Amino acid sequence: MIIAALFATRLTPLHWLDTTVIIIYFAAVLGLGFLLRKQTHTSEDFFLAGREMSAWVAGISFLAANMGALELMGWAAAAYQYGLLAAHWYWIGAVPAMLFLGLVMMPFYYISRSHSVPGYLKLRFGEPTRALCAISFAGMTVLMSGINMFAMAKVMQVVLGWNMNFSILVSSLTVAVYVTMGGLRSAILNEVLQFFLIWAGALVVPILGLIETGGWSGLKARILANTASDKYLHLWSTLGHFRSNSMGIHWTGIVFGLGFVGGLGYWTTDFLVVQRLLSAKDLRSARMAPIIGAWFKMAVPLIVILPGLIGLAVLPGAGLSLVGEGAANAGQHTYNEVLPLLLIRYAGPGLLGLGITALIAGFMSGMAGNVSAFSAVWTYDIYRPLMKLRATDHDLLSVGRWSTVLGVLVSIGTAYFAMHFSSIMDYVQALFSFFVTPLFGTVILGMLWKRATGPGAFWGLFAGMGSSIAMWAWVQIQPSALQIMALSNDAQPMAENLYRMLWSWLVCLIVTIGVSLFTRPAPAEELAGLVYGYTADPEQKKYPLVQQPVFWAVSAALVFLWLQWLFR
């Protein structure tokens, strides 16, 4: 009876080849964790992988940490819901920010030798700002880790028929074991492995989907036939008016809310991704890593956004009309299931196992990234300064391992919050608006404006986060407030998220500047290495032009602009 409760009706049987592929993957992940435990002796080994990673390893890990199951499933769902507009989160919402991080911001993080973004804020603004940032970030990471659990459990439920609770338990325990043993080094090397597995498995759907629909032109024709509108097929041309596109958003929301505030906020201040860059062996590698990541990022829509569009083209013909998570009746499929449904449609024996393994790898990557970031922030920015100021390195290593287990346990509880959102990416973007975009206001002022003060940073960050949560609560209590928040009666939840990011960032900026002007700034000698104009780039070996970060950053920017024109 108990076993029957763990396994419900599944949509398709697994061939023994599929099961073998999945078992081999789990064995490889756990085996790597055991091997790397022998190389983890100090807290720096555990939290920063000994600062010995090459630019390529750090860059791929940097991207893979953001490429979890919620990315694969969530943005496929968002593409089904909103069309090609979802690609903005990979292009304008990521590429410019990654290039800016590599060229401008990494020297501040790397030269200061901080273990975390809150660690930088401690050096720049003092303990109160660091504590506020650390506590809020720790909360966000376990909430994000929980959404990865939910996404993975959804795959297992749809494809394998596994009970949601059982799926969450098995997958989370695997992550807890290998991150606890090997720390960030284990997380990074697994992320590199998972990055290639994700590509190998996730390419099944776009390749076979394009073959079925007759290529890009055939895909567009089918979507037009199913939706009676071309608003799902354009990146920019429908953004001149709120009513012209499926998201109910204006181009200002995409450019300023997503491209400027949301993108820069996430990629330059979220410690989950910045932590990978701090593991680089030198400053040049740390600067090249996000630029390498930007090149790969431009290709990710092939395996994430394209499946959602294929779903729009082929699922209605199979009698499937997907709805939001909260609106689904018994037996009805939701936006979040579009990728698993397409895997079942296209993948035969062996290929289905590879596709499922890609989603498992994505889950492991996303959850491990959040858990390792939570562990570092908890240990260095909460435990040591607030609980045991004179902690030894052995104490920090021990607390790091125990806090990894704590992060997993808390994440299990937060997985269930995701079920109340129509799509998991609405949930993720709401979290970013609460914690990440106000933090970007604090960090960017700290790096670029020498007059910013500790009290200004603390109250600006507090006001930014508080206002964002209040705006979200207002819309939940009074749904008609959405049209005020997002400037239109046609706005969808995603549009509201982007405008809320912009408003909360402006609140943070205004309060920080206002308070700073009435409080005493730090003396110039304390700003060395922390503020633009007071930070000298350390002497480095001269490299040929084609090996310099700026060359590859400019090249990536040109390709990025070409993509915007091509899919306009």
What residues have CB less than 8 Å from 406, skipping those under 6 apart?
378
Checking if the pLDDT of 11 tops 70, the result is no
Which pLDDT value is given to residue 197?
75
| pTM listed for this prediction | 0.81
Checking if the pLDDT of 44 tops 70, the result is no
**Is 191 inside any structural domain?**
yes
**Is 61 inside any structural domain?**
yes
Which pLDDT value is given to residue 6?
37
**Is 521 inside any structural domain?**
no
Checking if the pLDDT of 502 tops 90, the result is yes
Which pLDDT value is given to residue 395?
80
> Which residue type, as a one-letter code, is found at position 157?
Q
CA 508 to chain centre: 22
Q: Please name which of 457, 151, 152, 505 lies closest in space to residue 497, comparing C-alpha atoms.
A: 505
Q: CA distances (Å), 246 to each of 45, 310, 442, in order? A: 47, 17, 33
Q: pLDDT band at residue 494, thresholds of 50, 70 and 90?
A: confident
Q: How many CA atoms lie within 13 A of 287 on its CB side?
A: 19
8 Å CB contact between 264 and 87: no
Per-residue pLDDT of 217-249, as tens digits, reads 999 999 999 888 888 899 999 998 888 888 889
Q: pLDDT band at residue 466, thresholds of 50, 70 and 90?
A: very high
Q: pLDDT band at residue 5, thresholds of 50, 70 and 90?
A: very low
Q: Report which of residues 74 and 130 the model is more confident about.
A: 130
Per-residue pLDDT of 245-260, as tens digits, reads 888 899 999 999 999 9
Q: pLDDT band at residue 445, thresholds of 50, 70 and 90?
A: very high
What residues have CB less than 8 Å from 124, skipping those under 6 apart?
446, 447, 457, 527, 530, 531
Q: CA distances (Å), 248 to each of 90, 106, 116, 498, 499, in order? A: 19, 36, 37, 11, 12
Which of 154-168, 375-389, 401-415, 432-446 holds the top average pLDDT?
432-446
**Is 512 inside any structural domain?**
no
Per-residue pLDDT of 136-179, as tens digits, reads 888 888 887 777 777 777 767 766 677 777 777 776 777 677 56
**Is 537 inside any structural domain?**
no
In angstroms, the CA 508 to CA 467 distance is 9
Which pLDDT value is given to residue 516?
96
Per-residue pLDDT of 182-210, as tens digits, reads 555 666 666 677 777 778 777 888 999 99
Q: pLDDT band at residue 471, thresholds of 50, 70 and 90?
A: very high
Tokens of 226: 């199913």
Q: pLDDT exceeding 70 applies to what percent of the chain?
A: 80
**Is 116 inside any structural domain?**
no
Structural domain count, the chain: 1
Range of the domain at 332: 2-38+56-110+129-419+544-566
Checking if the pLDDT of 386 tops 80, the result is no
Q: Which residue carries 């079925």 as its tokens?
A: 212
Q: pLDDT exceeding 90 applies to what percent of the chain?
A: 28
**Is 44 inside any structural domain?**
no
Q: Report which of residues 4 and 345 the model is more confident about.
A: 345
Q: How many CA atoms lie within 13 A of 56 on its CB side?
A: 2
Checking if the pLDDT of 377 tops 90, the result is no
Per-residue pLDDT of 88-123, as tens digits, reads 999 999 999 999 998 888 877 777 666 567 878 888
Q: pLDDT band at residue 3, thresholds of 50, 70 and 90?
A: very low
Q: pLDDT band at residue 422, thresholds of 50, 70 and 90?
A: low
Which of 140-149, 416-425, 538-547 holds the top average pLDDT?
140-149
Burial of 461 (0-12, 13-18, 19+ CB in 10 A): buried
- Tell me the mean pLDDT in the region 302-318: 89
On average, the pLDDT of the chain sits at 80
In angstroms, the CA 380 to CA 469 distance is 26
- Tell me the mean pLDDT in the region 124-137: 89
Which pLDDT value is given to residue 116?
65
CATH number assigned to the domain comprising residue 275: 1.20.1730.10
**Is 482 inside any structural domain?**
no
Burial of 16 (0-12, 13-18, 19+ CB in 10 A): exposed
Q: pLDDT band at residue 4, thresholds of 50, 70 and 90?
A: very low
- Tell me the mean pLDDT in the region 412-439: 77
Which pLDDT value is given to residue 1?
36
- Tell me the mean pLDDT in the region 343-357: 75
- Tell me the mean pLDDT in the region 379-396: 78
Which pLDDT value is given to residue 236?
94
